[in-house]
């Protein structure tokens, strides 16, 4: 009963399908672990469950997500105020692809669909979930932009579209004006299919990095920053609520600065 209420509340608050599924799954596993009704949950129960996850080397980000799901259920659905401190998630510098590696991926994409996947992830900074949910009716190609509907946190945001991508979208979609932009056999493309395509393309391109959709997004932000784009504009394009999240990309750019030789060395 409580899980159904949780699902309903998340829907009302405009959370994405993936967030709803994730929260419900984490709460279901938690309740199975403690073997008691949600109404009887105590702070120690949550701590015990999180400690159990940590003992199995769960990543800090996974622990934080689990805590967020459980405390949302207890605080918002059950009405119990439970506050637990967990270690801060270390913000590692994201790995990015160089412009040359992006070109290699595009050159080794065998189909128009796979090429378009790479182009959209890189040129618009889309998350994987946003890519597979992107619909033709959300694009305003004559204005060179589109809209992500119900993205992370249930928010809409504008995305930019390059001239090249617009041309390829029109070639790929033909007379279609509605439905998922990139589909598999007429159905919504799966996350697994996208990752599999990237794995195969990266292998053909002989790129040794583990190429994944979010790496394209990291590359989008980093390359914009290196080109002189204001970081606050990048924040909006990425859909970050907090500027500090976007500022991680300044560290990537600083790594590039370290490679520059001082003019004194040329004397």
Q: Give the pLDDT score at 61.
A: 83
Per-position b or e across 116-133, b if 16+ CB within 10 A of its CB: bbbbbbbbbbbbbbbbbb
Q: Of 15, 43, 78, which marks where a domain is finished?
A: 78
Q: Give the pLDDT score at 14.
A: 81
- Asked if residue 229 and residue 120 are part of one domain, the reply reads yes
In a domain, 238, yes or no: yes
Q: Give the pLDDT score at 267.
A: 44
Instruction: Please say whether the dihedral angle defined by the alpha carbons of residues 71, 58, 37 and 4, taken in this order, is positive or negative.
Output: positive
In a domain, 14, yes or no: yes
- Asked if residue 109 and residue 54 are part of one domain, the reply reads no
- Asked if residue 141 and residue 228 are part of one domain, the reply reads yes
243: CATH: 1.10.443.10
Q: How many domains does the chain have?
A: 2
- Asked if residue 19 and residue 60 are part of one domain, the reply reads yes
In a domain, 190, yes or no: yes
- Asked if residue 243 and residue 157 are part of one domain, the reply reads yes
- Asked if residue 237 and residue 206 are part of one domain, the reply reads yes
In a domain, 164, yes or no: yes
The per-residue pLDDT string of the chain (267 residues; one tens digit each, 9 = 90 and over) reads 899 999 999 988 888 788 899 999 999 999 999 999 999 999 999 999 999 999 988 888 889 999 999 999 999 999 988 888 877 776 777 899 999 999 999 999 999 999 999 999 999 999 999 999 999 999 999 999 999 987 777 788 999 999 999 999 999 998 888 899 998 666 888 999 999 999 999 999 999 999 999 999 999 999 999 888 999 999 999 999 888 888 888 877 766 666 656 554 664
Domain enclosing residue 196, as ranges = 99-258
- Asked if residue 46 and residue 174 are part of one domain, the reply reads no
In a domain, 237, yes or no: yes
Catalytic residue list: 127, 152, 214, 217, 240, 249
Asked if 180 and 189 count as a contact pair (C-beta separation under 8 A), the reply is yes
- Asked if residue 239 and residue 134 are part of one domain, the reply reads yes
- Between CA 28 and CA 22 the distance in angstroms is 10
- Asked if residue 111 and residue 59 are part of one domain, the reply reads no
- Asked if residue 169 and residue 120 are part of one domain, the reply reads yes
70: CATH: 1.10.150.130
- Asked if residue 110 and residue 67 are part of one domain, the reply reads no
In a domain, 23, yes or no: yes
In a domain, 64, yes or no: yes
């Amino acid at each position: 009963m409580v899980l159904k209420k949780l699902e309903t509340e998340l829907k009302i608050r405009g959370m994405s399908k993936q967030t709803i599924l994730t929260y419900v799954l984490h709460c279901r596993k938690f309740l199975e672990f403690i073997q008691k009704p949600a109404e009887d949950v105590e702070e120690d129960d949550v701590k015990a469950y999180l400690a159990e996850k940590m003992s199995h080397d769960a990543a800090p980000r996974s622990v934080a997500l689990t805590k967020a799901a459980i405390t949302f259920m207890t605080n918002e659905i059950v009405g119990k105020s439970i506050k637990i401190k967990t270690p801060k998630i270390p913000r590692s510098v994201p790995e990015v692809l160089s412009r040359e590696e992006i070109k290699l991926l595009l050159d080794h994409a065998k189909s128009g669909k796979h090429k378009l996947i790479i182009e959209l992830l890189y040129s618009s900074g889309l998350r994987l979930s946003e890519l597979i949910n992107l619909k033709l009716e959300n694009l305003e190609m004559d204005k060179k932009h589109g809209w992500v509907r119900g993205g992370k946190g249930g928010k809409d945001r504008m995305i930019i579209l390059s001239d090249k991508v617009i041309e390829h979208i029109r070639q790929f979609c033909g007379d279609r004006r509605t439905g998922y932009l990139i589909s598999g056999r007429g159905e919504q493309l799966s996350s697994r299919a996208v990752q599999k395509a990237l794995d195969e393309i990266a292998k053909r391109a002989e790129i040794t990095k583990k190429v994944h959709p979010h790496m394209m997004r990291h590359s989008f932000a980093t390359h914009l920053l290196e080109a002189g784009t204001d970081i606050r504009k990048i924040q909006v394009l990425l859909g970050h609520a907090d500027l500090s999240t976007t500022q991680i990309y300044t560290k990537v750019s600083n790594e590039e600065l370290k490679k520059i030789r001082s003019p004194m060395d040329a004397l």
